[in-house]
């Protein structure tokens, strides 16, 4: 089955030359695509570069999250310092009471 683009028997020289140029361009694209597929080392290097980029973005996102969370925790501790001190004193009192009761009963 002939190619639909192929000029017929009554085609002019210009039509034939245009068809030849189109065929050459198509062939060059096909060869280039095949060369890219055959370049395993190049494809692997591209994949490594993509992975590095993703990891760098992930590291940056994680770093920003850690900084934000640390800042929020610092603010919370600073704001609740009185409550924290009160909780520590209450825990110490309970521990002291338990120790005193055990010594008394022993």
pLDDT tens track for 33-78: 998 888 889 889 999 999 999 999 999 999 999 989 988 888 887 7
Q: Residue 69 falls within a domain, yes or no?
A: yes
- Whether residue 88 is contained in a domain is answered as no
Predicted TM-score of the model (pTM)? 0.43
Q: How many CB atoms lie within 10 A of CB 84?
A: 13
Quote the CA–CA distance of 2 and 8 in Å, as a whole number.
10
Confirm whether 53 is domain-assigned.
yes
Three-class secondary structure of residue 4 per DSSP: coil
Q: Is residue 73 part of a domain?
A: yes
**Cβ-contact 42, 36 below 8 angstroms:** yes
Q: Over the stretch 89-100, which tens digit does the pLDDT of each residue have?
A: 889 999 999 988
Helix (H, G, I), strand (E, B) or coil at 106: coil
Structural domain span for residue 69:
13-80
């Amino acid at each position: 089955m002939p190619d639909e683009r192929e000029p017929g028997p009554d085609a002019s020289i210009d039509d034939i030359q245009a068809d030849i140029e189109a065929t050459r361009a198509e062939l060059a694209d096909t060869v280039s695509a095949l060369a890219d597929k055959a370049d395993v080392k190049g494809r692997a290097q591209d994949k490594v570069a993509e992975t590095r980029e993703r990891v760098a973005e992930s590291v940056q996102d994680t770093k920003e999250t850690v900084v934000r969370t640390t800042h929020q925790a610092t603010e919370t501790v600073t704001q609740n310092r009185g409550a924290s001190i009160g909780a520590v004193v209450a825990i110490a009192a309970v521990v002291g009471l338990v120790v005193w009761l055990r010594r008394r009963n022993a």
